[in-house]
Amino acid sequence: MSGVRFDVTDSLVEPYAAQPTLLLRLRITEDDGLPIHAIALRCQLMIEPQRRGYDEAAAGRLYELFGDTPQWGESLRPFLWTHVSAMVPGFTGETEHDLAVACTYDFEVAAAKYFHALRDGTVSVSLQFSGTVFRKEGSGFSAVPVGWDVDASYQLPVSVWRGVMDRYFPESGWMRVSTETLDRLQQYKAERALRGWDETLERLMKEAGVDEG
């Protein structure tokens, strides 16, 4: 196998991406001391919700994902966040590389719903790596697979995810609705000369008798 190890040393907001993105800084170590030409890297990120605690308010916000807390012994299981890939340039011994992780505020995605429900602390993330390590040998190259058992774990601060969303969606969230529903909302808003979507939804909730908070 490749003899390559990965550790996550930091996480930060990518301020200039075309979509909400956070960066996981990888420390990549080559144990054999052999020069590496490049790594075509793939990574599966899993969220492990069972590895942290939740207060009553967070538990209520997580009901749609995991049900009532008495069910959590069965329902609180690791689930897929996303897949990412990267091309790591050549190095010898050790290097660092930022893994770009695209994020979404789409509440149809479990990871977005989960992150939004949290206000503080960290999220346990498991990273499972695969791909190909290219080594320069003589006048050619050799290709060695990244071992299937190569992985890493990281405690991602909730504040980093919120920093990403605040950067791209300042003081707001995002909700996907069908085109038909959007057309009806637009008509409702126009007929009542409402100024924005917050005011429109607040009026609807008031008419439905939904309490604030």
**pLDDT by residue (tens digit) across 101-110?**
999 888 778 9
- Enter the tokens of residue 53: 């605690």
Task: Specify the pLDDT at position 212.
Answer: 62
CB within 8 A of 9, min separation 6: which ones? 25, 26, 27, 96
Range in 43-52, 108-117, 118-127 the model is least confident about? 108-117
- The answer to whether the beta carbons of residues 68 and 74 sit under 8 Å apart is no
Q: Tens digits of per-residue pLDDT, 44-97?
A: 999 999 999 999 999 999 999 999 999 999 999 999 999 999 999 999 999 999
- The answer to whether the beta carbons of residues 41 and 146 sit under 8 Å apart is yes
- Enter the tokens of residue 198: 């917050």
| Interior/surface letters 129-147, b for 16+ CB within 10 angstroms, e for the rest | bbbebbbeeeeeeeeeebe
Query: Cα dist. 68→63, 64, 79, 168 in Å?
Result: 6, 9, 18, 32
Q: What share of the chain is helix, strand, coil (3-state, %, to 5)?
A: 30, 40, 30
Q: How many CB atoms lie within 10 A of CB 166?
A: 14
Task: Specify the pLDDT at position 213.
Answer: 52
CA 70 – CA 72 distance, rounded (Å): 6
pTM of this prediction?
Answer: 0.82
Query: Cα dist. 49→53, 100, 113, 168 in Å?
Result: 9, 22, 12, 25
